[in-house]
Structure 1
Amino acid sequence: MKVFELLRNKAFWIVDALKGGKKKKHYNEIKFIIENPTSQKAIDHKKHTLQKLLEHAVSSTENYKTLDNNFTSIEDFPVVNKNTIRDDFENFESKKFIDQPKFTFSTSGSTGTPFKVHQNANKRLRNMADTIFFSERAGFSIGNKLTYFRLWNAFEKKSIVAKILQNINPIDVFELENDSVKEDVIKEISRSKASNSWLGYASAYESICKYLDDHKSKPIPNKLKSVIAMSERLNDYTKETILKYFDCEVVSRYSNVENGILAQQPLGNKKYFEINEASYFVEILALDSNKRVEEGQPGRIVITDLYNYCIPMIRYDTGDIGIKDTINNMPVFTQVSGRKIDVIYNTKGEIITINLVLLVNNYPELKQCQLIQKATGKYHFKLNLEGEFTREDEFLNEFKVYLGEDANITLEYVDEIPLLASGKRRVMVNEMINS
């Protein structure tokens, strides 16, 4: 590590120690459980943590109080999803944490369903420790310079102070449509003396790879220390091309905004994802029922967040489909698939590679959203909400920034956007290529 990076790293842990070493305690606990999955100590700890959460939920929330003294296992609890929690939010909140400090996170994920969740302070610390541990497993160290590729307009932006303290360079993935931005990213890596790492959407990396191929680039000096892909499927082309140009392996991370890091691929060109059983209890349920499926069979990924006491998220259906198995005594996902997203074109006929439905994070009054491309320059939104949508003009203008100022956009208000037979919901549909 460079001198200033080492100082950042040391300063981070010194500050944590002065505050009681809470992050370090979480980090050590996560490290032990993940690296010793068959240890009786790890097994007992996970069992105790789950039982403690369930008892907290039935004793402090209206939603689960009927289960008090009447449950024998987690299977006695109902399966919930975004809409379940959103429609009955107050009854999911723990009375013990109503007046406690809390952190609010808003997301649509890739589902088209705007959703907010509160996290208590200890859950926030757990997420930080998860991030540190799993980032380290990909080659990142606290203090490294992190370039973060994201659709930043859909999320809270980093302040200047946060950028400096966290050594983060945020890049909006929409701006990567401009070749000059890609060129700036490459130049920054080439000239930088820092230990550089990347975190971002897989499609952003693919865009950079194609730019380098088109320009017949040579390998980039000052190679990256780590590259983590999130939110989208990482294809073999991108993995191989990043390795070719940057001499760095890309690993894929499976996470969501409302919970945190659920699983991540290990280094070594592995296809599977190591499940974060240190912080979550994971079940795979059948597509058409709430029965658990056998290992090696596809089903709905349903998680219980072991550390969110503010809003206990028990048997929370993520909306994703996965296959769970065991490799080297480690619980893993051998397959994870998200929602169905078609390729959408803007009014100039250019491909939009990012999930635009993420922008509905800015409209929490919407329950669901689906974007359909009807023809060149013609788009149709299906919106599900309660009451009247008073921000139509703002909504249309925001999406025209991405689709094109001359986009012909129509809105339709619906009661529900149906799921596919697979259990997934299509959030971006191109009827031009499906007809």
Structure 2
Amino acid sequence: MHYRSREVEQVRPKIAYDCDVLVIGGGIVGLSTAYAITRAAPGTRVSVLEKEPGPARHQTGRNSGVIHSGIYYRPGSLKARYAVRGAAEMVKFCAEYGIAHAVTGKLIVATDRDELPRLHALVQRGRENGIPVRELGAPQIAEYEPEVRGLAAIHVGTTGICDFVGVARQLAGSSGADIRYGARLVRVDRRPEFGVAVETARGEVVRARVLVNCAGLHCDEVARLTGDDPGMRIVPFRGEYYELARPGLVRGLVYPVPDPAFPFLGVHLTRGIDGGVHIGPNAVPALAREGYGWGTVRPRELAGTLTWPGSWHMAGRHWRYGAGELRRSVSKSAFTSAVRRLLPAVTADDLVPAAAGVRAQAVLRDGTLVDDFLIREGARAVHVLNAPSPAATACLPIGREVARRALAALAAAG
């Protein structure tokens, strides 16, 4: 074995690598990973390929801008650990670089008696995750939100809001990475003994020692192009929002009590950094991975969703929940009724359609909705396969973890 290894070493061709680590995806997780690599290992050459003409054009730039506290997530999970740590780091990062942000706190409000046990469970979960929580009776809700009605609520003081697109731009500018926009990946040639070569739609070839897949809505496709079986498929869910024409009805952030069976938080009210109030999202299946409206249909992507066994298992288990979401999507009156449970003063005329987002939800073959961040490794590759909300909040610790794995793969590659 010793002599064979020397023979291979002698015939191995000299390869001119364009970079040490190649990151696919210029959203907030990919840019945070590039930022973390260059800080942990100065001198490491990092390139980022992003198919759009600028950063943060999809999940990062199409959400409600909330810095999540971590109260919802299972104690010990990556989401819980990274959200709690990430929220504090995000506030510090924004303050350091002058990015618009505010620590507002938020209310989680129970409007039905059957929600009270779930509300109390959230109190316990928050305490286990080290998050300060104040329990409120119905009269105390008005101290925070005079127009909101409920049977009980909890106030979570560490929740905030920020400009995540601004954060992504700062990460890009501070990383020192070579960031190439308009570079859509079409082919990957990975050879474990030599490295990875990526071809873009423009015909450019980028050679790297290690590839990091942070492609968000397309991460499973990139994993398969690399030759790794991701064991899941991204099933896109569109989040539909309205803007409140009377923003004075809401002071801050107001959420319903979520159903723990789903990774969605329900229709909530969010006063953003611009002073406007967004209401949503409604969560419905998207007909394309970037399907921001019912009119956007991509047959190949839709076929991929429909032929994935997990999609049908998921639909069979959760069709009642999905039917309610679809009803609110096609009926503004149904959406208004859902909002009125929290905010009785709102009317249909108060709701102005706003830009939608799409959540990249990983679904396993048996229909399980992956509820934690999912990072897997292959030969000379690290794949981030599930990083929806609260990934923007947690991007700094996620970036460090992905960077750690990428640097370990780089060291192993020699």
Q: TM-score, normalised by structure 1?
A: 0.27
Which of the pair has the greater relative contact order for Cα pairs under 8 Å at 6+ separation?
2
